[in-house]
Amino acid sequence: MKEDKHGYLREENHSNLWHRKVAYHKIYLKNKEKYPFPFEKYEVHHIDGDKGNNLPENLALLSPEEHIDLHLEKERKVQEEEREMEGITNKRDKDLIRKVAKSSGLPISEIVNKLNSKRAKLSGLISNKDALKIVAMEVGIYL
């Protein structure tokens, strides 16, 4: 197995993409009644975004239109998250906010509001990171 220039795994001495082979054998053939079109008409989506994670449960067969829509929606969410975190400049703080939001199930905007409220109350007494840790604990997440 070797990685191509786009980060996808390919079989040695062959042009076959490994994720397509896995999807064909483990998803398409096992559930052929769910897929009205020939396999070649589908694109394979990595659910977790990791091109190296080719486990069947991480792969989804989508039409090209569905695949484009999915990636456009993901990009829209990323842009929305960036707007919600507009006043936060530290990348590590943004990553922690995303982690707390994902783990708690709360929207990023709610975590940011809680963080801003906590910082206002404790202005100058604690760092942004410590304020975020307090917010995380308040929503049941321990960093």
**What percent of the chain lies above the pLDDT cut of 70?**
99
Q: Domains in the chain, please, with CATH?
A: 2-70 (3.90.75.20), 85-138 (no CATH)
Q: How far apart are CA 118 and CA 95, in angstroms?
A: 18
- State residue 110's pLDDT score: 92
pLDDT by residue (tens digit) across 63-88?
A: 999 999 999 999 999 899 899 998 88
Q: Full-prediction pTM beyond 0.75?
A: no
Give the number of other Cβ atoms within 10 Å of residue 65's Cβ: 9
Counting Cβ atoms within 10 Å, is residue 95 exposed (0-12), middle (13-18) or buried (19+)? exposed
For the stretch 5-33, what's the b/e string if a residue is b when 16 or more beta carbons lie within 10 angstroms of its beta carbon?
A: eeebbbeeeeeebbbbbbbbeebbeeeee
